[in-house]
Amino acid sequence: MKIGQVMIQQQFARIGIRQKPAQWQMEVGHARTEHHVSPAKIEMERTDSKLQINADRMRADFHLKPLTDFLRDEGKKAYQKGLGAIQEIAAEGDDFARIELGRSVRQVIADQARADFNETPEFGLGVVPSFNSIQISYQPGTLKMNVDPGGVKVDAEPRYPVSSYQRGSLEVYLKQKHAVQVDTNLRPVDMKV
C-alpha cells in the first residue's frame, strides 16, 4: 500500500526592536559675585595721666626753700655775718691797740685764741622730715576708642542651570513574517501493514 507524503515547514515570526536612548544635557554657568570691602576705622582719643609731687614741706624740713626765699634769707644771713665779721675785726684791732698801751702780747693772742676756740661749731645729727611731707597726686589718663568695623558687601548674580531633554524612542517592527509551507509533491511511501 502506498501512502502519500506531506511535508510541512513552518517559519516563526520574528519581532525586531530599535531603541534610541534618551538624552539629557545640563549646562550650568558660574555665578557672578562682586565683593566690596570697606576697611575698619579706629579713632582713639587719649588724655595723658598727670602725676604731681609736691615736696615743698619736705624741703622746708631740710631747710631747702624755693630759690627766691633761699636767696632772700641767705642775703640776710650774709649781711649779718658781714656785720659780725666787721665787729670782730674791730674788736681784734682794739686788742692789738691795747698792746701799744702796755698789755702783754702773749695775753692778747691767748685771749683771741680762747674766744675763737669757745665758738661752738654748728652741726646736726640729721633732719627727719615730718609725716606726710611729700604730697603725691595722680590723675590717670583716659583712652576713648571709636571703632567702625567696616564690612564686606557681596553682590551675587546666580546662574541657573539650562537643561535640554530629548526623549528616547522604542520602535517595534516585524523582522520576519510567519510562514507555513506545505509540500505534497513528494514520492509516496510504500508501507506494509
- Tens digit of pLDDT for each residue in 86-120? 988 888 888 777 777 777 777 877 877 777 776 56
| Higher pLDDT among residues 130 and 162, named by residue | 162
- For residue 130, what pLDDT is reported? 76
* CB neighbourhood size of 103 (10 A): 14
Q: Residue 7, SS3?
A: strand
3-state secondary structure of 38: strand
How do the residues of the chain divide into helix, strand and coil, expressed in percent and rounded to 5? Answer: 25, 40, 35
d(CA 61, CA 126): 11
Q: Which residue has the higher pLDDT, 130 or 89?
A: 89
> What's the rounded mean pLDDT across residues 21-40?
89
In terms of phi and psi (left: phi > 0; alpha: psi -120 to 50; beta: otherwise), the region of 151 is left
pLDDT tens digits for 184-193?
Answer: 776 666 667 6
Average pLDDT, the chain: 83
Count CB-CB contacts under 10 A for residue 55: 15
Alpha helices per DSSP H over the chain = 56-61, 67-100, 105-117
Share of the chain above pLDDT 70, in %: 89
Q: What is the pLDDT, as a whole number, of residue 85?
A: 86
Band (51; pLDDT cuts 50, 70, 90): very high
pLDDT value of residue 43 = 92
**Rounded-to-integer distance, Cα 173 and Cα 144, Å:** 90
C-alpha cell at 187: 514520492
Binned at pLDDT 50, 70 and 90, residue 70 comes out as confident
Residue 46's pLDDT band, with cuts at 50, 70 and 90, is: very high
Predicted pLDDT at 183: 80
**Nearest-angstrom CA–CA distance, 59 and 129:** 8
**Residue 135 contacts residue 58 (beta carbons within 8 Å):** no
Domain ranges of the chain: 1-23+168-193
pLDDT at 120: 63
pLDDT over 90 at 45, yes or no:
yes
